[in-house]
Structures are given as C-alpha cells and as structure tokens.
A and B are shown apart, each in its own frame.
Chain A
C-alpha cells in the first residue's frame, strides 16, 4: 500500500527566503506526482505535475523534483512571499488513485 509523508508539517520563514518542502512515498511504481496548494477553507490548486519519466518541473518561482528510485520529491520555492502562505500537499498517482501526504503548512512572514 502506498504511503506518502511530508516533512516538515509546518514551516515559518521570513519573506524573501528560499525554502524546500519534502515529500516521500513508499512505492516507487507511480505514474506521476502532483504538488497542490490549499488555502484555508478553499479547494486544491494544482501547482506542478511531474510525470514518472521526468525529473523536474518548473513554474515561475516553483521547482519540483522527482527521484522515483528513492521515493522522494522536493518542492523548491524561491524568494518566498507572504502570498505563498498556504498548505502544500503532494500526491502520487498509482493503483488508479491519488495518494496524498498530510501537507506542509507554510507561513511566510512579512
């Protein structure tokens, strides 16, 4: 059974810092990995999708990497801003469903 773990559970940084969020999964036979952002009381917004054959994806200040063999992904956020404050979720897709981690709650202080 697939298990997804995200570390840290919470992170507080001053504005402008670069930061890394971590995601690990136990079964490397995944089709893809997706990073989401969830604002309080809101739905999930897709940030980046990495297919199993890819090693990284970039969108603006966000860069996500994938190492299938070691079961790890990282989400790098450059020059963090207060507007980045949210919960970040990673999800892997295999066995016909998405498995989610419990998220990293990010607070970027002005």
Chain B
C-alpha cells in the first residue's frame, strides 16, 4: 500500500486554467505538507497543516489554496496558472508537529505540473 499518494502524477495545462492536485496519506499522521521542487531540484516548503489546521503558509501567492477536509487529505488548488508555476509538487506527511522529536517525513511520488 502506498503511504503517501498524489494524483495526478503528470499535469499539463494552459496558462490561466485552474487545477487541483490531491494528496492522501494512510499512515495516521497528524501533519501534512506541500513542497515545490524547482528546475534546479531545490525543495521548498509551501504549506503545512496539522490536524486540518494551517500552520505554515510560506509566502505563497494567493492563487495557491490548500484544503484539508480531514487529517488524511491535503489538496492543493491553483487558480490562474502561470508559466512560472511549472515545477514538481510534492506532498508529504509526518507523525506530528509540535514538540516532535521523531518527525520522520514520508513523501509522495510528486506531481509534475507543466504550464504551457
């Protein structure tokens, strides 16, 4: 069974469109994250949620809106897509956030978004 799963794996869309990426974890973790990996392979945090509550919003444009219907799911909706949004987006989860000494992260396989 896949621990952290993202759909779709590939997404090609035109500028100006709105798209969503879904993420689900079956590890029973409290915390989920969205990371963006740019063309230079650098991974940067976008959002983190702890028990459905937004904890971190790392100066991401308002066009990006995460939604966590329950602690096992964290979806990412992107409005008015731009060329610069092309990247690989990774979802991740970890056991818990605050005071967590054993915060091992598990990552999904990534969603490669290409905006044309």
Q: State the A residues within 8 Å of B (CB).
A: 31-32, 34, 36, 38, 41-46, 49, 51-53, 87, 89, 91, 93, 96-100, 102-103
Contacts and interface: CB of A to CB of B under 8 A. Distances in A.
Contact of A32 (B90, B102, B110): B102
Contacts of A100: 35, 42-44
Given A89-B43, A96-B97, A97-B56, A49 B90 contact: no
A102 to B, nearest CB: 5
Contacts of B44: 100
Contacts of A96: 48, 55-56, 97-98
Nearest to B4: A43
B8 to A, nearest CB: 14
Contact of A49 (B55, B58, B104, B107): B104
Given A42-B110, A87-B41, A52 B97 contact: no
30 contacts: A31-B100, A31-B103, A32-B101, A32-B103, A34-B104, A34-B105, A36-B107, A42-B110, A43-B90, A43-B108, A46-B105, A46-B106, A46-B107, A49-B102, A87-B41, A91-B105, A93-B100, A93-B103, A96-B48, A96-B55, A97-B33, A97-B56, A97-B58, A98-B33, A98-B45, A99-B45, A100-B42, A100-B44, A102-B41, A102-B42
